[in-house]
Protein backbone atom coordinates (compact mmCIF):
# COMPACT_ATOMS: atom_id res chain seq x y z
CA UNK A 1 0.00 0.00 0.00
CA UNK A 2 1.24 3.50 -0.85
CA UNK A 3 1.36 5.47 2.39
CA UNK A 4 1.14 8.84 0.58
CA UNK A 5 -1.99 7.74 -1.13
CA UNK A 6 -3.57 6.73 2.16
CA UNK A 7 -2.77 10.08 3.73
CA UNK A 8 -4.08 12.20 0.84
CA UNK A 9 -7.20 10.07 0.54
CA UNK A 10 -8.11 10.51 4.17
CA UNK A 11 -7.29 14.21 4.07
CA UNK A 12 -9.67 14.93 1.17
CA UNK A 13 -12.33 12.44 2.11
CA UNK A 14 -12.59 14.19 5.49
CA UNK A 15 -14.12 17.22 3.85
CA UNK A 16 -16.60 15.05 1.92
CA UNK A 17 -18.39 14.27 5.15
CA UNK A 18 -19.48 17.89 5.45
CA UNK A 19 -20.92 18.62 8.87
CA UNK A 20 -19.41 17.90 12.27
CA UNK A 21 -20.48 14.90 14.31
CA UNK A 22 -21.16 17.54 16.98
CA UNK A 23 -23.52 19.62 14.80
CA UNK A 24 -26.42 18.84 17.11
CA UNK A 25 -24.59 20.28 20.14
CA UNK A 26 -26.32 23.47 21.25
CA UNK A 27 -24.64 26.42 22.90
CA UNK A 28 -24.88 26.03 26.69
CA UNK A 29 -25.67 29.02 28.86
CA UNK A 30 -22.86 30.53 30.94
CA UNK A 31 -22.67 29.49 34.59
CA UNK A 32 -24.88 31.80 36.70
CA UNK A 33 -21.92 32.75 38.95
CA UNK A 34 -18.72 32.28 36.91
CA UNK A 35 -20.51 33.65 33.82
CA UNK A 36 -20.74 37.02 35.58
CA UNK A 37 -16.93 37.27 35.39
CA UNK A 38 -17.03 36.35 31.68
CA UNK A 39 -19.45 39.23 31.03
CA UNK A 40 -17.42 41.58 33.25
CA UNK A 41 -14.20 40.80 31.35
CA UNK A 42 -15.85 41.80 28.07
CA UNK A 43 -16.94 45.22 29.39
CA UNK A 44 -14.49 48.00 28.40
CA UNK A 45 -15.87 50.51 30.94
CA UNK A 46 -13.24 51.94 33.33
CA UNK A 47 -15.73 52.06 36.21
CA UNK A 48 -16.85 48.43 35.93
CA UNK A 49 -17.16 46.52 39.17
CA UNK A 50 -17.26 42.72 39.56
CA UNK A 51 -19.26 41.69 42.62
CA UNK A 52 -20.27 38.33 41.17
CA UNK A 53 -18.00 35.51 42.23
CA UNK A 54 -16.97 35.37 45.88
CA UNK A 55 -13.30 36.19 45.55
CA UNK A 56 -11.50 38.40 48.06
CA UNK A 57 -10.00 41.66 46.84
CA UNK A 58 -7.81 44.15 48.69
CA UNK A 59 -8.74 47.80 49.23
CA UNK A 60 -6.89 48.38 45.93
CA UNK A 61 -9.20 45.90 44.22
CA UNK A 62 -6.44 43.34 43.73
CA UNK A 63 -6.51 39.57 44.43
CA UNK A 64 -4.65 38.72 47.64
CA UNK A 65 -2.04 36.03 48.21
CA UNK A 66 -1.64 35.77 51.98
CA UNK A 67 1.80 36.55 53.30
CA UNK A 68 1.85 33.27 55.21
CA UNK A 69 1.07 31.41 52.00
CA UNK A 70 4.01 33.08 50.26
CA UNK A 71 6.23 32.04 53.19
CA UNK A 72 5.03 28.44 53.00
CA UNK A 73 5.64 28.38 49.25
CA UNK A 74 9.14 29.71 49.80
CA UNK A 75 9.83 26.87 52.24
CA UNK A 76 8.51 24.37 49.71
CA UNK A 77 10.71 25.71 46.93
CA UNK A 78 13.82 25.75 49.13
CA UNK A 79 13.33 22.22 50.41
CA UNK A 80 15.17 20.05 47.87
CA UNK A 81 13.90 16.90 49.51
CA UNK A 82 10.39 17.72 48.26
CA UNK A 83 9.49 15.72 45.18
CA UNK A 84 6.56 15.61 42.81
CA UNK A 85 5.58 11.97 43.23
CA UNK A 86 1.92 10.97 43.13
CA UNK A 87 0.14 11.32 46.44
CA UNK A 88 -1.84 8.34 47.72
CA UNK A 89 -5.47 8.15 46.52
CA UNK A 90 -6.63 9.85 49.73
CA UNK A 91 -4.04 12.62 49.44
CA UNK A 92 -1.45 13.99 51.83
CA UNK A 93 -1.81 12.21 55.19
CA UNK A 94 -0.55 15.15 57.23
CA UNK A 95 -2.92 17.54 55.46
CA UNK A 96 -5.86 15.25 56.19
CA UNK A 97 -5.02 14.95 59.86
CA UNK A 98 -4.60 18.71 60.28
CA UNK A 99 -7.75 19.50 58.29
CA UNK A 100 -9.82 17.23 60.54
CA UNK A 101 -8.42 19.01 63.60
CA UNK A 102 -9.24 22.39 62.10
CA UNK A 103 -12.82 21.35 61.42
CA UNK A 104 -13.62 19.29 64.51
CA UNK A 105 -11.28 20.86 67.09
CA UNK A 106 -7.75 20.07 68.18
CA UNK A 107 -8.91 17.84 71.04
CA UNK A 108 -11.89 16.26 69.31
CA UNK A 109 -12.70 12.88 70.91
CA UNK A 110 -14.07 11.68 67.55
CA UNK A 111 -10.61 12.12 66.02
CA UNK A 112 -8.92 10.50 69.02
CA UNK A 113 -11.02 7.34 68.72
CA UNK A 114 -10.43 7.41 64.94
CA UNK A 115 -14.08 7.44 63.95
CA UNK A 116 -13.37 10.17 61.40
CA UNK A 117 -11.95 9.50 57.96
CA UNK A 118 -10.61 12.50 56.06
CA UNK A 119 -9.58 12.47 52.42
CA UNK A 120 -8.04 15.27 50.38
CA UNK A 121 -10.22 16.38 47.48
CA UNK A 122 -10.39 19.12 44.85
CA UNK A 123 -11.46 22.06 47.01
CA UNK A 124 -15.01 22.34 48.35
CA UNK A 125 -16.69 21.34 45.10
CA UNK A 126 -14.66 18.14 44.71
CA UNK A 127 -15.21 17.22 48.36
CA UNK A 128 -18.97 17.62 47.96
CA UNK A 129 -18.93 15.56 44.80
CA UNK A 130 -16.88 12.71 46.26
CA UNK A 131 -19.08 12.64 49.37
CA UNK A 132 -22.20 12.62 47.21
CA UNK A 133 -20.92 9.79 44.99
CA UNK A 134 -20.08 7.76 48.08
CA UNK A 135 -23.58 8.34 49.50
CA UNK A 136 -25.24 7.46 46.20
CA UNK A 137 -23.45 4.10 46.28
CA UNK A 138 -23.65 3.25 49.96
CA UNK A 139 -26.39 5.17 51.75
CA UNK A 140 -29.79 3.50 51.94
CA UNK A 141 -31.67 6.79 51.43
CA UNK A 142 -30.61 8.60 48.25
CA UNK A 143 -32.56 11.81 48.80
CA UNK A 144 -30.75 14.98 49.80
CA UNK A 145 -32.49 18.12 51.10
CA UNK A 146 -30.78 21.37 50.22
CA UNK A 147 -31.77 24.81 51.52
CA UNK A 148 -33.95 27.12 49.43
CA UNK A 149 -32.03 29.07 48.19
CA UNK A 150 -28.52 27.68 48.21
CA UNK A 151 -25.23 27.93 46.29
CA UNK A 152 -26.23 27.32 42.65
CA UNK A 153 -23.87 24.39 42.17
CA UNK A 154 -25.26 22.23 45.00
CA UNK A 155 -28.25 20.91 43.07
CA UNK A 156 -26.12 20.05 40.04
CA UNK A 157 -23.40 18.32 42.07
CA UNK A 158 -25.82 16.10 43.95
CA UNK A 159 -28.01 15.29 40.96
CA UNK A 160 -25.04 14.28 38.81
CA UNK A 161 -23.72 12.14 41.65
CA UNK A 162 -26.96 10.16 41.53
CA UNK A 163 -28.86 11.62 44.48
CA UNK A 164 -32.40 12.87 44.29
CA UNK A 165 -32.51 16.54 45.29
CA UNK A 166 -35.31 18.13 47.31
CA UNK A 167 -35.35 21.50 49.06
CA UNK A 168 -36.23 22.70 52.53
CA UNK A 169 -37.40 26.21 53.36
CA UNK A 170 -34.58 28.39 54.64
CA UNK A 171 -34.92 32.07 53.79
CA UNK A 172 -37.88 34.33 54.30
CA UNK A 173 -37.77 37.27 51.85
CA UNK A 174 -40.30 39.18 53.95
CA UNK A 175 -38.07 39.32 57.04
CA UNK A 176 -34.80 38.84 55.12
CA UNK A 177 -34.05 36.32 57.83
CA UNK A 178 -34.27 32.61 58.55
CA UNK A 179 -37.56 30.82 57.97
CA UNK A 180 -36.91 28.68 61.02
CA UNK A 181 -40.44 27.34 61.29
CA UNK A 182 -40.46 26.35 57.63
CA UNK A 183 -37.07 24.68 58.00
CA UNK A 184 -38.22 22.61 60.97
CA UNK A 185 -41.47 21.63 59.26
CA UNK A 186 -39.78 20.55 56.05
CA UNK A 187 -37.07 18.54 57.80
CA UNK A 188 -39.58 16.83 60.06
CA UNK A 189 -41.41 15.65 56.92
CA UNK A 190 -38.23 14.25 55.34
CA UNK A 191 -38.04 10.46 55.19
CA UNK A 192 -35.85 8.77 57.77
CA UNK A 193 -32.24 8.52 56.61
CA UNK A 194 -32.52 11.42 54.15
CA UNK A 195 -29.38 13.51 53.77
CA UNK A 196 -29.54 17.20 54.76
CA UNK A 197 -27.11 19.70 53.28
CA UNK A 198 -26.23 22.40 55.82
CA UNK A 199 -23.96 25.42 55.36
CA UNK A 200 -21.59 25.28 58.34
CA UNK A 201 -21.50 29.09 58.47
CA UNK A 202 -21.96 32.15 56.28
CA UNK A 203 -24.83 30.71 54.25
CA UNK A 204 -24.42 31.41 50.55
CA UNK A 205 -26.20 33.36 49.06
CA UNK A 206 -28.34 34.71 51.94
CA UNK A 207 -25.73 35.51 54.61
CA UNK A 208 -28.30 34.24 57.13
CA UNK A 209 -27.18 31.64 59.69
CA UNK A 210 -29.17 29.95 62.46
CA UNK A 211 -28.30 31.06 66.00
CA UNK A 212 -26.59 28.51 68.26
CA UNK A 213 -29.93 27.80 69.95
CA UNK A 214 -31.53 27.23 66.58
CA UNK A 215 -28.64 24.95 65.57
CA UNK A 216 -29.28 22.94 68.71
CA UNK A 217 -32.95 22.54 67.75
CA UNK A 218 -31.96 21.54 64.22
CA UNK A 219 -29.53 19.00 65.66
CA UNK A 220 -32.17 17.48 67.91
CA UNK A 221 -34.63 17.17 65.03
CA UNK A 222 -32.04 15.66 62.69
CA UNK A 223 -31.01 13.08 65.28
CA UNK A 224 -34.59 12.31 66.27
CA UNK A 225 -35.55 11.71 62.63
CA UNK A 226 -32.39 9.77 61.82
CA UNK A 227 -31.40 12.21 59.06
CA UNK A 228 -27.79 12.39 57.86
CA UNK A 229 -26.19 15.88 57.99
CA UNK A 230 -23.75 16.85 55.24
CA UNK A 231 -21.97 20.11 56.09
CA UNK A 232 -20.56 22.39 53.45
CA UNK A 233 -17.82 24.41 55.16
CA UNK A 234 -16.55 26.80 52.52
CA UNK A 235 -16.07 29.84 54.76
CA UNK A 236 -14.55 28.72 58.08
CA UNK A 237 -13.01 31.84 59.65
CA UNK A 238 -14.59 34.14 57.09
CA UNK A 239 -17.88 34.67 58.88
CA UNK A 240 -16.75 35.80 62.32
CA UNK A 241 -13.00 35.97 61.86
CA UNK A 242 -12.65 33.03 64.27
CA UNK A 243 -11.96 29.52 62.98
CA UNK A 244 -13.43 27.91 66.09
CA UNK A 245 -16.60 30.02 66.23
CA UNK A 246 -17.34 29.27 62.58
CA UNK A 247 -17.01 25.52 63.19
CA UNK A 248 -19.41 25.38 66.13
CA UNK A 249 -22.39 24.08 64.16
CA UNK A 250 -20.40 21.12 62.84
CA UNK A 251 -18.82 20.39 66.22
CA UNK A 252 -22.25 20.18 67.89
CA UNK A 253 -23.17 17.36 65.55
CA UNK A 254 -19.94 15.50 66.24
CA UNK A 255 -20.08 15.96 70.02
CA UNK A 256 -23.33 14.00 70.23
CA UNK A 257 -21.57 10.87 68.98
CA UNK A 258 -23.60 10.74 65.76
CA UNK A 259 -22.54 10.58 62.14
CA UNK A 260 -22.13 13.34 59.55
CA UNK A 261 -20.11 14.44 56.55
CA UNK A 262 -18.17 17.68 56.13
CA UNK A 263 -16.71 19.22 52.96
CA UNK A 264 -13.96 21.75 53.65
CA UNK A 265 -12.53 24.33 51.29
CA UNK A 266 -9.34 26.36 51.67
CA UNK A 267 -10.27 28.57 48.69
CA UNK A 268 -11.52 31.50 50.72
CA UNK A 269 -9.97 31.22 54.17
CA UNK A 270 -6.42 30.69 52.84
CA UNK A 271 -7.00 32.40 49.51
CA UNK A 272 -6.02 29.21 47.69
CA UNK A 273 -8.86 29.44 45.13
CA UNK A 274 -7.02 28.13 42.09
CA UNK A 275 -4.95 25.56 43.97
CA UNK A 276 -8.11 23.51 44.56
CA UNK A 277 -7.40 22.38 48.11
CA UNK A 278 -10.10 20.80 50.22
CA UNK A 279 -11.04 17.80 52.29
CA UNK A 280 -13.97 15.49 52.82
CA UNK A 281 -14.47 14.07 56.30
CA UNK A 282 -16.91 11.31 57.10
CA UNK A 283 -17.61 11.01 60.80
CA UNK A 284 -18.76 7.49 61.62
CA UNK A 285 -19.96 5.68 64.72
CA UNK A 286 -16.77 3.65 65.18
CA UNK A 287 -13.19 3.41 63.94
CA UNK A 288 -14.00 0.12 62.27
CA UNK A 289 -16.80 1.64 60.18
CA UNK A 290 -14.61 4.67 59.36
CA UNK A 291 -11.88 2.44 58.01
CA UNK A 292 -14.28 0.50 55.76
CA UNK A 293 -15.89 3.76 54.61
CA UNK A 294 -12.48 5.12 53.64
CA UNK A 295 -11.72 2.02 51.58
CA UNK A 296 -14.90 2.70 49.57
CA UNK A 297 -14.22 6.43 49.21
CA UNK A 298 -10.94 5.43 47.55
CA UNK A 299 -12.95 3.51 44.96
CA UNK A 300 -14.86 6.73 44.20
CA UNK A 301 -11.72 8.85 43.86
CA UNK A 302 -9.46 6.54 41.84
CA UNK A 303 -11.54 6.54 38.62
CA UNK A 304 -12.54 10.22 39.10
CA UNK A 305 -9.17 11.99 39.41
CA UNK A 306 -6.91 9.19 40.67
CA UNK A 307 -5.27 11.23 43.42
CA UNK A 308 -5.24 14.91 44.36
CA UNK A 309 -2.60 17.58 43.62
CA UNK A 310 0.32 17.98 46.00
CA UNK A 311 1.23 21.66 46.00
CA UNK A 312 -1.74 23.35 47.67
CA UNK A 313 -2.12 20.64 50.30
CA UNK A 314 1.57 21.01 51.18
CA UNK A 315 1.10 24.75 51.69
CA UNK A 316 -1.84 24.12 54.02
CA UNK A 317 0.01 21.41 55.96
CA UNK A 318 3.03 23.67 56.54
CA UNK A 319 0.84 26.48 57.84
CA UNK A 320 -1.37 24.32 60.05
CA UNK A 321 1.46 22.45 61.74
CA UNK A 322 3.68 25.41 62.54
CA UNK A 323 2.40 27.44 65.49
CA UNK A 324 3.92 30.72 64.28
CA UNK A 325 2.57 30.39 60.79
CA UNK A 326 -0.80 29.27 62.06
CA UNK A 327 -1.01 32.39 64.20
CA UNK A 328 0.05 34.57 61.30
CA UNK A 329 -2.70 32.96 59.21
CA UNK A 330 -5.38 33.69 61.82
CA UNK A 331 -4.34 37.35 61.88
CA UNK A 332 -4.50 37.63 58.09
CA UNK A 333 -7.82 35.78 58.03
CA UNK A 334 -9.29 38.08 60.66
CA UNK A 335 -8.13 41.09 58.65
CA UNK A 336 -10.01 39.78 55.59
CA UNK A 337 -13.16 39.11 57.64
CA UNK A 338 -12.92 42.55 59.26
CA UNK A 339 -12.50 44.30 55.92
CA UNK A 340 -15.66 42.62 54.67
CA UNK A 341 -17.53 43.67 57.81
CA UNK A 342 -16.34 47.25 57.37
CA UNK A 343 -17.59 47.19 53.76
CA UNK A 344 -21.03 46.29 55.12
CA UNK A 345 -20.99 49.38 57.33
CA UNK A 346 -19.72 51.62 54.52
CA UNK A 347 -22.34 50.44 52.05
CA UNK A 348 -25.08 50.80 54.64
CA UNK A 349 -23.93 54.34 55.50
CA UNK A 350 -23.68 55.30 51.82
CA UNK A 351 -27.27 54.20 51.15
CA UNK A 352 -28.48 56.02 54.24
CA UNK A 353 -26.64 59.17 53.16
CA UNK A 354 -28.41 59.00 49.79
CA UNK A 355 -31.78 58.46 51.44
CA UNK A 356 -32.25 55.30 49.39
CA UNK A 357 -35.76 54.01 50.08
CA UNK A 358 -36.00 50.70 51.95
CA UNK A 359 -34.67 49.07 55.09
CA UNK A 360 -31.01 48.20 54.53
CA UNK A 361 -30.27 46.81 57.98
CA UNK A 362 -29.81 43.34 56.51
CA UNK A 363 -26.55 44.56 54.95
CA UNK A 364 -25.20 44.85 58.50
CA UNK A 365 -26.86 41.75 59.88
CA UNK A 366 -25.91 39.24 57.20
CA UNK A 367 -22.77 37.19 57.68
CA UNK A 368 -19.88 36.20 55.44
CA UNK A 369 -18.81 37.09 51.97
CA UNK A 370 -22.15 38.06 50.49
CA UNK A 371 -25.04 40.44 50.92
CA UNK A 372 -28.34 39.16 49.63
CA UNK A 373 -29.63 42.61 48.75
CA UNK A 374 -33.23 41.85 47.88
CA UNK A 375 -32.75 43.60 44.52
CA UNK A 376 -34.72 41.85 41.78
CA UNK A 377 -33.49 40.54 38.42
CA UNK A 378 -34.63 43.66 36.55
CA UNK A 379 -32.88 45.96 39.03
CA UNK A 380 -29.68 43.89 38.72
CA UNK A 381 -29.88 44.09 34.92
CA UNK A 382 -30.34 47.85 35.18
CA UNK A 383 -27.29 48.23 37.44
CA UNK A 384 -25.18 46.18 35.06
CA UNK A 385 -26.34 48.06 31.97
CA UNK A 386 -26.23 51.60 33.35
CA UNK A 387 -23.54 51.37 36.05
CA UNK A 388 -21.38 48.43 34.91
CA UNK A 389 -21.90 46.74 38.27
CA UNK A 390 -21.75 42.97 37.81
CA UNK A 391 -23.48 40.63 40.24
CA UNK A 392 -25.56 37.46 40.17
CA UNK A 393 -29.15 37.92 39.00
CA UNK A 394 -30.56 36.85 42.38
CA UNK A 395 -29.32 40.16 43.85
CA UNK A 396 -26.31 38.71 45.66
CA UNK A 397 -23.24 40.94 45.91
CA UNK A 398 -19.79 39.85 46.97
CA UNK A 399 -18.81 42.26 49.75
CA UNK A 400 -15.25 40.95 49.42
CA UNK A 401 -15.04 42.51 45.96
CA UNK A 402 -15.88 45.97 47.26
CA UNK A 403 -13.53 48.70 48.53
CA UNK A 404 -13.86 52.16 50.09
CA UNK A 405 -13.24 53.57 46.61
CA UNK A 406 -16.02 51.60 44.93
CA UNK A 407 -18.71 51.81 47.64
CA UNK A 408 -20.04 55.20 46.38
CA UNK A 409 -20.42 53.87 42.84
CA UNK A 410 -22.30 50.79 44.08
CA UNK A 411 -24.51 52.93 46.33
CA UNK A 412 -25.31 55.23 43.38
CA UNK A 413 -26.23 52.20 41.29
CA UNK A 414 -28.46 50.69 43.98
CA UNK A 415 -30.07 54.06 44.64
CA UNK A 416 -30.86 54.53 40.95
CA UNK A 417 -32.14 50.95 40.61
CA UNK A 418 -34.46 51.34 43.58
CA UNK A 419 -35.73 54.82 42.75
CA UNK A 420 -35.79 54.90 38.96
CA UNK A 421 -35.93 51.37 37.67
CA UNK A 422 -38.77 48.92 37.79
N1 LIG B 1 -19.72 25.67 48.77
C2 LIG B 1 -20.18 26.93 48.84
C3 LIG B 1 -21.30 27.25 49.76
C4 LIG B 1 -19.57 27.92 48.05
O5 LIG B 1 -20.05 29.15 48.12
C6 LIG B 1 -18.52 27.58 47.19
C7 LIG B 1 -17.88 28.62 46.31
C8 LIG B 1 -18.08 26.24 47.19
C9 LIG B 1 -18.70 25.32 48.00
C10 LIG B 1 -16.97 25.74 46.33
O11 LIG B 1 -15.79 26.35 46.46
P12 LIG B 1 -14.42 25.70 45.97
O13 LIG B 1 -14.76 24.49 45.15
O14 LIG B 1 -13.77 26.75 45.18
O15 LIG B 1 -13.72 25.34 47.22
N16 LIG B 1 -18.69 29.67 45.87
C17 LIG B 1 -18.16 30.81 45.13
C18 LIG B 1 -17.44 30.40 43.87
C19 LIG B 1 -17.19 31.58 45.99
C20 LIG B 1 -18.17 29.49 42.94
O21 LIG B 1 -19.37 29.66 42.70
O22 LIG B 1 -17.50 28.59 42.44
C23 LIG B 1 -19.36 31.73 44.80
O24 LIG B 1 -19.14 32.80 44.23
O25 LIG B 1 -20.49 31.38 45.17
The model's pTM: 0.94
What ligand 1 atom has the least distance to the C-alpha of 128? 9
- The answer to whether residue 151 is catalytic is yes
CB-based contact 251:111 (threshold 8 Å): no
- The answer to whether residue 215 is catalytic is no
Residue of 122, 126, 153 to test ligand 1 pocket, by largest number of atoms within 8 Å of CB:
153
State how far the alpha carbon of 262 is from the alpha carbons of 11, 44, 200, 289, 385, in Å: 53, 41, 9, 17, 40
- As a whole number of angstroms, the distance between CA 385 and CA 142 comes to 43
* Residue ranges of the chain assigned to CATH 3.40.640.10: 86-321
Q: How far is CA 68 from the centre of its chain?
A: 22
pLDDT tens digit sequence for 288-323: 999 999 999 999 999 999 999 999 999 999 999 999
Q: What is the pLDDT of residue 18?
A: 77
Averaged over 163-184, what is the pLDDT?
A: 96
Q: What is the gyration radius of the CA atoms in the chain, in angstroms? A: 24
- As a whole number of angstroms, the distance between CA 293 and CA 202 comes to 29
Judged against a pLDDT cut of 80, whether residue 10 lies above it is answered with no
Counts of helices then strands in the chain (DSSP H, E): 16, 13
Neighbours of 168 (CB within 10 A): 23
Averaged over 225-249, what is the pLDDT?
A: 96
- DSSP string covering 126-168: HHHHHHHHHHHHH-S--EEEEEES--THHHHHHHHTTPEEEEE
Peptide bond into 149 cis (omega under 30): yes
pLDDT tens digit sequence for 107-138: 999 999 999 999 999 999 999 999 999 999 99
**Ligand 1 within 6 A of 96 CB?**
no
Judged against a pLDDT cut of 80, whether residue 66 lies above it is answered with yes
Q: What is the pLDDT of residue 96?
A: 98
Q: Does domain 86-321 have CATH number 3.40.50.300?
A: no
Judged against a pLDDT cut of 80, whether residue 15 lies above it is answered with no
pLDDT tens digit sequence for 142-151: 999 999 999 9
What is the band of 16 on the pLDDT scale with cuts at 50, 70, 90?
A: low
Averaged over 266-289, what is the pLDDT?
A: 98
- DSSP string covering 222-246: HHHHT-EEEEEES-TTTSSS-TTGG
Averaged over 389-395, what is the pLDDT?
A: 95
Q: 3-class DSSP state for residue 88?
A: coil
Return the minimum-mean-pLDDT range out of 3-17, 39-53, 380-394: 3-17
Catalytic residue among 186, 209, 232, 412: 232
Quote the mean pLDDT of the chain.
94
CB-based contact 116:110 (threshold 8 Å): yes
Higher pLDDT, 65 or 1: 65
State how far the alpha carbon of 73 is from the alpha carbons of 65, 322, 337, in Å: 11, 14, 23
CB-based contact 67:328 (threshold 8 Å): yes
Architecture label for domain 34-64+338-420: Alpha-Beta Complex (3.90)
What is the band of 160 on the pLDDT scale with cuts at 50, 70, 90?
A: very high
Q: What is the pLDDT of residue 422?
A: 60
Q: What is the pLDDT of residue 360?
A: 95
Q: What is the pLDDT of residue 420?
A: 84
Largest CA distance in the chain: 84
User: How many residues are there in the chain?
Assistant: 422
**Ligand 1 within 6 A of 53 CB?**
yes
* Residue ranges of the chain assigned to CATH 3.90.1150.10: 34-64+338-420
**Ligand 1 within 6 A of 210 CB?**
no
Q: Is 421 buried (19+), middle (13-18) or exposed (0-12) by CB count in 10 A?
A: middle
Q: What is the pLDDT of residue 9?
A: 47
Q: What is the pLDDT of residue 421?
A: 57
Q: What is the pLDDT of residue 1?
A: 46
- The answer to whether residue 329 is catalytic is no
Amino acid sequence: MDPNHTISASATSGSDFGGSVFDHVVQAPEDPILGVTVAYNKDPSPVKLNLGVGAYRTEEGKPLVLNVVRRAEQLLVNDRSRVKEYLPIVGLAEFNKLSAKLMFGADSPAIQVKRVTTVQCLSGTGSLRVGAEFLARHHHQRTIYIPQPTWGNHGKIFTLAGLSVKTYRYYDPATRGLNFQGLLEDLSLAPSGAIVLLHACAHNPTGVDPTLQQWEQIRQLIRLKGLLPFFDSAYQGFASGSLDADAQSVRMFVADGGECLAAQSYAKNMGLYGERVGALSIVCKTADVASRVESQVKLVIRPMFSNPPIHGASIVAIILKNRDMYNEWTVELKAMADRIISMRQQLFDALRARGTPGDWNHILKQIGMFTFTGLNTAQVAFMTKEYHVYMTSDGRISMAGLSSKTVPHLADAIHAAVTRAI
